[in-house]
Amino acid sequence: MASYVLLNIDTASPNIEIYAPSYTTVDILNEIVIQANEELSLDYQEIYVVDANGVRYDYSFAFDGDSYIGHVRFNNFPVGSIITLYARVMDKVGNVSNLVNKAIHIANSITLLTMTISDRQANVEISDKGRSVATNDRAMKIIVADSDRSENIGSN
């Protein structure tokens, strides 16, 4: 009987997307994610910002399986300008993605205001006390009477 081995060769580029805010300020530490639809290679990342004057600034993000994650503060760009973030990565078998980009507005945020922010949840007390259940396995006494009734059978 003939046997076959089918090989599927992965020649498809990974699809990637940039998760980044459309606007930010020079004060905010932005979490930016380059998310792919498959596992990526640790060996290749091309992530950079081009400012309004066409100057390129390279960044190195942390590898996280199917994504690269960076925490970036854009405090070296002019307030009010629009910068463009570019990203290109590679999957585990060497297929390089398209170069994707996202524009980010460095908003004209005033620093007249300073803020302290917090998030919290109302206190909720929970308990999972079980209702006690008493069991007993007292057996009912069974009295077995085992009396033989003997009959006198007389023989004539």
- Give the residues lining the site for another protein (CB under 8 A): 17, 19-22, 25, 27-28, 30-31, 33, 107-122, 124
Instruction: Tell which residue, 52, 51, 44, 53, has the closest CA to residue 87.
Output: 44
DSSP string, 10-49: --PPPPEEEE--SEE-SS--EEEEEEESS-EEEEEEEEEE
Nearer to another protein, 10 or 64 (CB): 64
For the bound state, the minimum distance from the C-beta of residue 130 to another protein, rounded and expressed in Å, comes to 17
Strands of the 40-50 sheet, one edge to the other: 23-24, 100-106, 82-91, 40-50, 56-59
- Least Å distance, CB 21 to another protein, is 5
Measured from the CB atom, the residue of 119 and 151 that comes closer to another protein is 119
Nearest to another protein of 17, 51 (CB atom): 17
| CA–CA dist 69, 30 (Å, integer) | 10
Nearer to another protein, 62 or 99 (CB): 62
DSSP letter (8 states) at residue 124: -
Tokens standing for residue 140: 């009912």
Q: Tell me how far, at minimum, the Cβ of 106 lies from another protein, in Å.
A: 12
- If the CB atoms of residues 56 and 120 are measured against another protein, the closer one turns out to be 120
**Minimum distance from CB of 6 to another protein (Å)?**
37
DSSP state of 88: E
- Report, in Å, the least distance between residue 70 CB and another protein: 14
